[in-house]
């Protein structure tokens, strides 16, 4: 059964009135008390407003439950957590997946030096390398290292 707009507005107004009432009386704030007060106002054909709620508390206050704010005992402060030493994390680099491990290490250590090729790469051997292997060598050690080996 759908409610009309007028009924929905009336429910909203009543909810606001009860909110204000329980805000003024936090010791009575619970759903059971709201139901008792609603039924009392309905039996006596009263509208739900603050003066009628105050009067109904005087009339049937003995039926209402009081709410204690200290239901749960005060929590003991949590023990101080022991901080574990963790390894510092580093930010990821743009294009990191395309870098070789040597290039990445050079960047992360902050060393801006030219890596030298292993001694086995002589000028003659580098000149005889196929393009794919030369590209891989350049990617791994950098073009400056390859040029330095060619100029030895």
**Residue closest to 64 by CA, chosen among 94, 90, 98, 27:** 27
Asked if residue 22 belongs to a domain, the reply is: yes
**Residue closest to 59 by CA, chosen among 79, 81, 36:** 36
Write out pLDDT tens, residues 11-34.
Answer: 888 899 989 998 888 888 888 888
Quote the tokens at residue 22: 């329980």
Angle CA(138)–CA(142)–CA(147) in degrees, nearest 5? 80
DSSP per-residue codes, 14-49:
HHHHHHHHHHH-GGG-SHHHHHHHHHHHHHTT----
Asked if residue 47 belongs to a domain, the reply is: yes
Asked if residue 76 belongs to a domain, the reply is: no
Asked if residue 145 belongs to a domain, the reply is: yes
Asked if residue 86 belongs to a domain, the reply is: no
Containing structural domain, residue 117: 96-150
Domain count of the chain?
Answer: 2
**Residue closest to 40 by CA, chosen among 53, 49, 26, 27:** 53
Among 43, 63, 83, identify where a domain stops: 63
Q: With bands split at pLDDT 50, 70 and 90, how would you rate the model's confidence at 132?
A: very high
Asked if residue 100 belongs to a domain, the reply is: yes
8: helix, strand or coil? helix
Q: Can you tell me the mean pLDDT for 67-81? A: 64
Asked if residue 89 belongs to a domain, the reply is: no
Q: Is the pLDDT of residue 76 over 90?
A: no
């Amino acid at each position: 059964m759908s409610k009309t707009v007028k009924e929905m507005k009336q429910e909203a107004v009543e909810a606001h009135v009860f909110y204000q009432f329980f805000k003024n009386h936090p010791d009575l704030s619970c759903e059971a008390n709201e139901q008792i007060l609603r039924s009392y106002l309905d039996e006596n054909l009263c509208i739900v407003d603050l003066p009628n709620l105050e009067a109904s508390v005087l009339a049937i206050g003995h039926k209402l439950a009081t709410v204690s704010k200290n239901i749960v005992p005060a929590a003991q402060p949590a023990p101080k957590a022991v901080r574990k030493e963790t390894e510092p994390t580093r930010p990821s680099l743009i294009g990191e997946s395309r870098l070789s491990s040597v290039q990445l290490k050079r960047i992360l250590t902050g060393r801006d030096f030219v890596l030298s090729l292993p001694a086995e790469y002589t000028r003659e051997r580098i000149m005889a390398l196929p393009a794919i292997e030369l590209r891989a060598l350049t990617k791994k050690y950098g073009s400056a290292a390859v040029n330095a080996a060619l100029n030895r």
